[in-house]
Amino acid sequence: MVKIDPFEVEQWMDRYETTPGVINIAETCAASVSIHDLVGICDDKAAPGPLALSRKMTYGAIRGSQELRQRVASLFERASPTPLPAENVIITQGAIMANFLLFYTLIGPGDHVVCVYPSYQQLYDVPKSLGAEVSLWKLKEEDDYVPNMGDLETLVKSNTKLIVINNPNNPTGSTIPKLTLEHIVLFANARGITILSDEVYSPLYHSLPEGQEPPPSILALGYEKTVATGSMSKAYALAGLRLGWIASRDKGILEAVAAARDYTTISVSQLDDQVATFALSASVLPSLLKRNTGLAQTNLALLSAFVDKHSSVCSWRKPTAGTTALLQFKEKGTPVDDAQFALDVLNKKNILFVPASLCFGLGKDFRGCVRIGYVCETDVLQKGLEGLEQYVNEHLL
């Protein structure tokens, strides 16, 4: 029997996000849209709707429809000298399935994996459950949570098979810039190590420093043994589709993943495939991303004002991308017990966010920190911050 640790962030969300009347600033998707919303923002009013109601509900194309795979492939064209063929994309049930299939295909006992940390727990615990040794590539606040190449050199071993990165990062909202990505690629290429880049929050690079360009996908940097995963959930505000993808320039990796998937989910829902195809069309995608980027920038300004106002008890490294922020709270100069803090705020103010030491810090790191998902509807964030301000004034000052 495979031994796997509890998935703390997912269990926390499952346990508390259905609390009656909860003000949810834990959710990490850009505020969700409906199919009606997608139709409303479509520039081509003569375009066919998102669902072909007369289509028979067979399994559909096993690797995803050709049209959807082509539209996903086009997402990787930013800063890429070579277009990605549609055949190099496999559609999956969310990025979580894409990541799992890659680990299941590539990793086993005797292998070694390096994974950035903090990150989504799946990215380091699934390889561990499959028998691999995992070393955590710890991101440092003083480095703005950008991976340090010197640290990577001390972690890699002769049996290192995979380096896992997350760009933009969850929970910090940091961005790995192009130059660092190029250094990671050069390092991995020299040793024949595969790179997995979880890009589920891309392309929400909404608050980069002036003059800094959004980084390319890992697939754009000329190294074949790279894999990128993504989904419709975060940047595209369509988590209810349960649709993601895995893409690579290495056909061998993709064929192995496709073979493994035959034993799990076979294909995605035709309905999900059709709606995602519509959302990624040229007549919808620009408006959808403009909406989500604007929401992120508006809401980040509100969160930044809150942190500035309460700087005596609250601090952070301001996010540059994605939908999440890592905030530390202190009481009388000492980091709060973040799990107890989160529960107390939930019980007293009905506001939900995620304790970082429990859900991202293995119970010991990121003490006093919480993760806030700030790209919710603006009025939800405002209500959440108003209630949190009341709690801070009543209990921390």
Helices (H), the chain: 8-16, 35-41, 66-74, 94-106, 122-129, 149-155, 178-191, 251-261, 270-279, 285-309, 338-349, 356-359, 378-395
Report residue 384 as tokens. 């959440």
Rounded Cα–Cα distance for residues 364 and 356 (Å):
10
**Global pTM exceeds 0.85:** yes
Read off the pLDDT of residues 355-386 as tens digits, 9 standing for 90 and up: 999 999 999 999 999 999 999 999 999 999 99
SS3 for 298? helix
**50-59, 74-83, 105-114, 362-371: segment of lowest average pLDDT:** 74-83
Express each pLDDT in 103-160 by its tens digit.
999 999 999 999 999 999 999 999 999 999 999 999 999 999 999 999 999 999 999 9
Predicted confidence (pLDDT) at residue 194 exceeds the cutoff of 90: yes
Q: Say how far apart CA 384 and CA 23 lie, in whole Å.
A: 6
From CA 103, how far away is CA 261, in angstroms rounded? 12
**Residue 45: predicted pLDDT:** 86
Question: pLDDT confidence of 78, banded at 50, 70, 90?
Answer: confident
Q: Annotate 196-254 with three-state secondary structure.
A: EEECCCCCCCCCCCCCCCCCCCHHHCCCCCEEEEEECCCCCCCHHHCCEEEEECCHHHH
Given a contact cutoff of 8 angstroms between Cβ atoms, the answer to whether 371 and 341 are in contact is no
